[in-house]
Amino acid sequence: MTLQNKTAIVTGASRGIGQAIALELAKEGAKVVVNYSGSEARAQQVVEQIQAAGGEAIAVQANVADAESVAQLMSKALETFGSIDILVNNAGITRDNLLMRMKEDEWDDVMNTNLKGVFLCTKAVTRQMMKQRSGRIVNISSIVGVSGNAGQANYVAAKAGVIGLTKTTAKELASRNILVNAIAPGFITTDMTDELSEELKTAMLAQIPLAKLGQPEDIAKAVAFFASDAASYITGQTLHIDGGMVM
Ligand code: NAD
């Protein structure tokens, strides 16, 4: 186990990629704070899965786009486990529309959760990580933040912003031994992608050299690597996990 005695906060961890990350970090020995905004029952199931495998976890409700809520999430994590060693900024939403039809609230909702949320959570853990003189932050961006994608101006701008934020925080925090990296997933099978039409899924599959969709575990294993000692000389990087879609 590579993460024993570490505490990890995973945002948006009640399902999909976040759930897989929470399970993987726990498997590597981390105590996990399973953040959720929606279904408490699903977050509790993730906690029970971790506990059944002999791990430690708690579920904490918080909206990553709200500073007060984020502060409560951090306090609860600290109060329960005593440290915050790993933050995974995973929570994200889509509100897709063509630019000319995109409403201001669709823009704002996505920017607030997907970009401002990363800023707020990063800022909130940084004070504690600075005191500890160590920390790992892993931001979940998207391959479309690198390549662009028609119909997702809000999402692409936020995910590109996450890559910029990753590089900047990596530079600002390196002297305190806080390492910040990003992962840009391609097309991963989750509830988020289940909502897409079959036509779009077939078109996307045709662009993937490895000719298959990714699984949440593909992302989770890379997060565990970035959080581990094996990645102690890596910061400010964005790892594409996309079956070779964007090279
Ligand atoms: P998902 O919709 O299954 O899960 C997203 C989670 O984030 C949910 O649990 C949701 O409740 C939570 N969440 C949403 N808003 C929140 C808020 N304000 N505060 C706290 N939690 C909030 O999606 P997923 O596919 O598992 O995606 C996880 C991350 O990976 C997202 O950042 C997404 O943009 C990114 N991503 C996904 C794919 C993909 O193909 N699935 C590709 C690239 C990037």
DSSP per residue, 69-125: HHHHHHHHHHHHHS---EEEE-------B-GGG--HHHHHHHHIIIIIHHHHHHHHH
CATH of domain 7-187+217-239: 3.40.50.720
Catalytic residue among 81, 107, 155, 225: 155
On whether the CB atoms of residues 150 and 102 are closer than 8 A, the answer is no
Instruction: Please work out whether the CB of residue 160 comes within 6 Å of at least one atom of ligand 1.
Output: no
* pLDDT on residue 204: 86
Q: How far is the CA of 175 from the centre of ligand 1 (A)?
A: 31
**Per-domain residue ranges of the chain:** 7-187+217-239
pLDDT of the chain, 247 residues: tens digit per residue: 799 999 999 999 999 999 999 999 999 999 999 999 988 999 999 999 999 999 999 999 999 999 999 999 999 999 999 999 999 999 999 999 999 999 999 999 999 999 999 999 999 999 999 999 999 999 999 999 999 999 999 999 999 999 999 999 999 999 999 999 999 999 999 987 888 888 988 888 999 999 999 999 999 999 999 999 999 999 999 999 999 999 9
Q: How far is the CA of 215 from the centre of ligand 1 (A)?
A: 14
Instruction: Please work out whether the CB of residue 205 comes within 6 Å of at least one atom of ligand 1.
Output: no
Nearest atom (ligand 1) to Cα of 155: 34
- Looking at ligand 1, which residue's alpha carbon is closest to its atom 6? 12
Instruction: Please work out whether the CB of residue 92 comes within 6 Å of at least one atom of ligand 1.
Output: yes
**Three-state SS at 152:** strand
Among this protein's residues, is 233 annotated catalytic? no
* pLDDT on residue 191: 85
**Three-state SS at 214:** strand
- Looking at ligand 1, which residue's alpha carbon is closest to its atom 41? 188
Residue 95's region, left for phi above 0, alpha for psi from -120 to 50, else beta, is: beta
